[in-house]
Structure 1
């Protein structure tokens, strides 16, 4: 087997798996459980992503591709069939996010200055109408309780009207909604990278993928940088939302000018921060003897937009 230090894909995978392992351990997921999920993902990818245009791969071909036995492939395929039959395709987090986005963007729920208006719970132009327009059959009280819980919405003490404290719905902690967003975000990023690595159709541009990184920033700058990056990123996402939302067939309630087919698309923005420790002589010796990853501090390849 090729070692992690010589195979570029292995190196990239290790960098992905290291923080993932930390999250799994924090949430009490043992390796055996993770390994079973990996088997399931291998089987689903083999069966769904490698068709020849006429029919899906057989269990035997999936076994050859994945290195699993045909018995294990069938077991995982049966598990996948049960999971897909019970999926409703739309999460509570997605619905709450639509409500907040509508409040920020829709002129019917804005004040004269274009900012999100203070809303009564019921009546014309109320929070209840907002939920019905952007969240379908979700009970308005349940949506409001969730937005209260995460600090997105508050109620005015004198009038009782509701107002936005944050312009985006972001669940807190390791909640079910936050973990679902984690799965979606990481999956979308990996899918974009995979597309850019493998899709070489002539005349077709790669999907947009950029990162801004500097690795020698003094700690006293970080708080100001966090605030600046968050404000600019939020403004960018709201501008993109303003452009794309009118084309959403669920929100526009009209598909007369469209084919009826559906495409899921979007743009993701995330902030990262990783303190870099200066290596001691002992650390340097460990790196040489035991093939530990070297510190990236001062690496010019880690600076700028790439």
Structure 2
């Protein structure tokens, strides 16, 4: 491993270690996860390149024993966050499905809880899989994206499903969002066609007073959210799960992620 790659991976792993340390995860558990991930990736890459996939071949590439590889190949990846995915689908349906839109305002309607058409129960049945309407409402109330009205209806409060106090849900997002960013960087590292590079940009300054940060956070929260909603509307119109008459081949996932960051800046080197 060359020094630049080692430095980049050290910074990634060091950040992850803070989470593992706080959660009391032992080094052995982390090492086992690394082995599992390496075996999975090697197997996928061998399949992609048309090579024969055997335990011995994977062991030779990874440096693990054949016994370790055989045991790791038997394990299955678990779904990261079914509750998060269901909540996202329900909010998306509420925003776009005409059955749940107020025709006078073209905004998500206040829905009666029960009813054969245009009800919250109907919305949840259509978009959440097997989660009950009562459970979904409690979840949405907990994270403050919906509320019950005085007449027993359900009103959307936010068009974005963001876990608030549930650390488990936030950790689930770690497992969904960080790999997407790394995948984009990996693509850009190997892409030879400039027109095929994926968008990857950030803006950052390192000599800001702490007092200006609350205003900047609010600025980002407002403007970034409006931009993401515009992207969401475009993707919805081109996604065959929501717009069945869209033509085309393959089944692809695409999207855009925006995140805010702040941390103490590294001190500048004194002038000689």
For 1:137-175, what per-residue CA distance to the aligned partner results, in whole angstroms no more than 9, with x for missing partners? 43222211111111211122x323222222211113454
1:155 equivalent to 2:144? Answer: no
| 3-state SS in 1 of match to 2:242 | helix
Separation of aligned partners in 1, 2:48 and 2:96: 44
What is the distance in 2 between the residues matched to 1:236 and 1:52? 36
Distance (Å, rounded) in 2 between the aligned partners of 1:115 and 1:145: 22
Q: Does 1:115 align with 2:104?
A: no
User: Partners of 1:296 and 1:120 in 2: how far apart?
Assistant: 57
Superposition pairs of residues 78-227 of structure 1, within 5 angstroms = 78-79=74-75, 83-84=76-77, 87=78, 91-111=82-102, 112-123=104-115, 124-156=117-149, 158-173=150-165, 175-200=167-192, 202=193, 204-227=195-218
1:9 corresponding residue in structure 2 = 5
Q: Distance in 2 between matches of 1:24 and 1:126?
A: 43
Q: Does 1:34 align with 2:30?
A: yes
Call closer, same or farther: CA 1:110–1:50 in 2, change over 3 Å. same
So what's the TM-score if we normalise by structure 1?
0.79
User: Alpha-carbon deviations, 1:15-42, whole Å to 9, x = none?
Assistant: 1112211111111211110110000001
Is residue 2:67 matched to residue 1:71? yes
Taking a change above 3 Å as real, the CA distance of residues 52 and 127 of structure 1, as seen in their structure-2 partners, is: closer
Q: State the distance in 2 between where 1:66 and 1:186 align.
A: 24
Tell me by how many angstroms 1:14 deviates. 1.6
CA–CA distance in 2 between the matches of 1:120 and 1:101? 18
Does residue 238 (structure 1) correspond to residue 232 (structure 2)? The answer is no
CA contact (8 A) 1:215 1:296 kept: no
Q: Verify the 8 A CA contact 2:81 2:169 in the aligned structure 1.
A: no
Give 5+ residue unaligned stretches, structure 2. Answer: none
SS at match of 2:262: coil
Separation in structure 1 between the aligned mates of residue 267 and residue 62 of structure 2, nearest angstrom: 34
Q: How far apart are residue 252 of structure 1 and its match?
A: 2.7
Q: How does 1:44-59 map to 2 (within 5 A)?
A: 44-51=40-47, 53-59=49-55
CA contact (8 A) 2:56 2:66 kept: yes
User: TM-score with structure 2 length normalisation?
Assistant: 0.88
Flag the 1:115–1:19 CA change in 2: closer, same or farther, 3 A. same
Structure 2 residue aligned with 1:302: none
Shift of 1:136: 3.4
After superposition, the Cα gap between the structure-2 partners of 1:203 and 1:19, relative to the gap in structure 1 and judged at 3 Å, is closer
Provide closer, same or farther for how the CA distance between residues 275 and 53 of structure 1 changes in structure 2, counting only shifts above 3 A: closer
Query: What is the CA–CA distance in structure 1 between the aligned matches of 2:48 and 2:251, rounded to whole Å?
Result: 23
Number of residues paired by the alignment? 267
Q: Give the direction of change, closer, same or farther, for the CA distance of 1:269–1:7 in structure 2 (3 Å limit).
A: same
Higher relative contact order (CA 8 A, sep 6+): 1
Measure the CA separation in 2 of the matches of 1:122 and 1:64.
59
Task: Please state how far the C-alpha of 1:247 moved relative to its aligned partner.
Answer: 2.3
